[in-house]
Structure 1
């Protein structure tokens, strides 16, 4: 039985040596924080932006956010102007749902129930009724407006709630110089439509995008004169 005992000892030594080598690539710190993320609920470490009132928002013009808010749904009040969060953000994960009403017969292109989500008040992800609605592709729903065309059109019909899940990596500046551009990933109704694309600069309706140095800034929702609604909006700082 001696040879068998010797074999057992050899296997044990080899196993201990493998475990020792494997331990060299085990990283035990930092330990990730525990986040509760139940289905259809706001993650425990997220900031809910649409709760029982509009206390998280203000008008870009100054003063209170003067949009319509009822039963957790926020709707653009045409002519009231854009609204922004009171809190500023850099890198974020943003979740929201949005809905466009049935279009009027003469609505087409960019006039067919338009809005937008501006990160740091500069970089827009388009909100638009792009369901059977021809327009320039770098201006349809899910586009980085006037910059990057979405990979696909994932739009649901008017009257149905749309979902956006967006990862925004803010640009980094060294003084006035751009050190690293911004990047963005957009998931529209569960479908990736922007895959870590580089943001070319500020959103411009006319002319080329450009970068100007800035720090963390608010999120902004656009009043484009249409009754676009939002709900279940929350943000996680990354």
Structure 2
């Protein structure tokens, strides 16, 4: 019977034509890439182009425009103020963001160029899913808290951090969690991250939003959410951002 079945399969394959497996729909949309690597493609929403913070608000009061410093094409953390987040909310997306700690950065461990990219912000304070931003160039700390870690959850696969004073790049693919009508978790969040072109999170499944103390878990259902940048309380020199854009998926 196995031989007969195999013969039938071979016979069917012999009768097949190349066009039997050709598809013409759906037709992918035409997207014009950036002229240079890292530049926003034609379908991207530009969140920061060096000129203003029109796409951002204060995280603790979404009626207040973002108060960080914009100068010489850069967005710099102002530690007098709190976190900022996007006016818009997003579900699944591709995000590009570039950041730099000063060349004269001081401090050690978590007190050295600390910030965070919250891939979905869930309210006031630091609630959300944090991709760590930190000077991890020859700076020892716990590995699930170094640059490109999913903070307190997933250690990055590599440490391609450039020296202080040099630009760092995150390219992120975020798949938001899915919840049922009763609020129960159907699918956990997942994230893929390229850090300076190196794969450091590979379709990593998250256990829940970031917990500084304790074990992360999905405690509340949510939909589309803003993206947040953290103003961390460490005493080191503030870091800067540039060239932030997003593509909804």
TM-score under structure 2 normalisation?
A: 0.85
Structure with greater Cα Rg = 1
1:22 aligns with 2:21: no
Deviations 1:26-67 (A, max 9, x none): 110111111000324310000000132101000012201000
Question: 2 CA distance for matches of 1:57 and 1:156?
Answer: 27
Deviations 1:154-207 (A, max 9, x none): 100000000110100110000210000011001000100111110110001111
Assess, with a 3 A threshold, how the Cα gap between structure 1 residues 19 and 166 changes in structure 2: closer, same or farther: farther
TM alignment of 1:1-238, pairs within 5 A: 21-38=17-34, 39-40=36-37, 41-51=39-49, 52-62=51-61, 63-105=64-106, 107-121=107-121, 122-175=128-181, 176-211=183-218, 212-225=220-233, 226-238=237-249
CA contact (8 A) 1:103 1:112 kept: no
CA drift at 1:222: 0.2
CA drift at 1:101: 1.1
CA drift at 1:103: 4.8
Which ranges of structure 1 fall in alignment gaps of 5 or more residues? 1-16
Assess, with a 3 A threshold, how the Cα gap between structure 1 residues 19 and 74 changes in structure 2: closer, same or farther: farther
SS in structure 2 of the partner of residue 24 of structure 1: helix
Query: What is the aligned residue count?
Result: 221
TM-score under structure 1 normalisation?
A: 0.89
4+ aligned runs moved over 6 Å, structure 1: 17-20
Root-mean-square deviation over aligned CA pairs: 1.6
Which ranges of structure 2 fall in alignment gaps of 5 or more residues? 1-12, 122-127
CA contact (8 A) 1:90 1:169 kept: yes
Assess, with a 3 A threshold, how the Cα gap between structure 1 residues 194 and 88 changes in structure 2: closer, same or farther: same
CA contact (8 A) 1:82 1:221 kept: yes
CA contact (8 A) 1:50 1:72 kept: no
